[in-house]
Structure 1
């Protein structure tokens, strides 16, 4: 008789190893890590799955977790004064996920981080990141490099200037993120581009 519980545990362990490997490979790009340090990092993380539409963090709450996306796409969004939903940028695989201003200064966030697709991610809680920083020499240097890169990526990904016409904005998005464009619902992409979904559908039809 097959032990389904044991088989399920093995599959989860394999998935966990695969997900953690993505994170470790990225960290090793910034600094060498010993086996013990890698094991420590692994012990301080949580593997989390979210469904499409779920929130990683919400406006009005203080951010106390940092995520690393291993599969799927998130969007950073907010609501304007007149109630319109605005998508600022998207975050996909092998990128970190946090409202840095809220996390750093421990103030309520003004934005939402929402799953655009089903997602898998590695999550660090604030206390666990502090423990890692207090144990691994040079961890602050690694996080500073990652933060700098994340900031530059954010600048490149942030929603385009509305001074450009909508067709130009859409074409630039296709040039920069060709694979991403195929995975994002039209409603979110239209919000990012600052146009209606109907307008985006017409643009796509005209340039296809």
Structure 2
């Protein structure tokens, strides 16, 4: 997380070091949850290795994946984290995953005591918004083949570890359609 924050060129080394006492490293085993529905998200994590998926379950028990997050990215149940209300989503490890976690209370303390940390918080929020907007536009503009190719291009080393039905759900298509796409581009 520190290296990632440093790459944004917002915090000085001294400001970056202020988060050291608050960071915790945790392993999440494949199939275990970072957070489950109806709980309040109290931390934001940076994925050091592995993959997490965020999904919702409808009234019929059908899961829909809205986000797959890879090594080097931030993850949280963001609306729950911001509003401190129960989340509707589940965040689960697709494979053994190592994360660095920063608790909401500690992040708020850093915001309250530093203008640079406030700026970092704003930039991170803007980046999450842009990522969400890109995903929405991609669903409106691009076909499933293009969405798959982009996912595969950016995360090829992990794609082989993700079950096809997860990828299909994330792309908003059936597993059968995903299989046809994969065959057509090989």
- Regarding TM over 0.5, the answer is yes
- Counterpart position of 1:32: 11
- Counterpart position of 1:187: 165
Gaps of 5+ in 1: 1-22
TM-score by length of 2: 0.84
Match of 2:86 among 101, 108, 111: 108
2:136, 2:55 → 1: CA distance?
Answer: 11
The answer on whether the counterparts of 2:55 and 2:89 sit within 8 Å (CA) in structure 1 is yes
The answer on whether the counterparts of 2:11 and 2:117 sit within 8 Å (CA) in structure 1 is no
Gaps of 5+ in 2: none
3-state SS of paired residue (2:169): helix
3-state SS of paired residue (1:148): helix
1:141, 1:96 → 2: CA distance?
Answer: 17
Q: CA deviation at 1:195?
A: 3.0
Q: CA deviation at 1:148?
A: 0.5
Residues 125-145 of structure 1, C-alpha deviations (whole Å, 9 max, x = no match): 122212222333421111110
- Counterpart position of 1:14: none
The reply on whether 1:63 has 2:63 as its aligned counterpart is no
Match of 1:54 among 25, 29, 32: 32
Identify which range, 184-193 or 155-164, moves more after superposition. Answer: 155-164
1:161, 1:43 → 2: CA distance?
Answer: 41
Tell me the C-alpha RMSD between the 2 structures: 2.6
2:145, 2:132 → 1: CA distance?
Answer: 22
1:52, 1:152 → 2: CA distance?
Answer: 29
TM-score by length of 1: 0.76
The reply on whether 1:127 has 2:121 as its aligned counterpart is no
Q: 1:73 to 1:158 in 2, by over 3 A?
A: farther
The reply on whether 1:151 has 2:129 as its aligned counterpart is yes
Alignment: residue pair count: 185
Q: CA deviation at 1:166?
A: 4.6
- Give the greater-gyration-radius structure (CA): 1
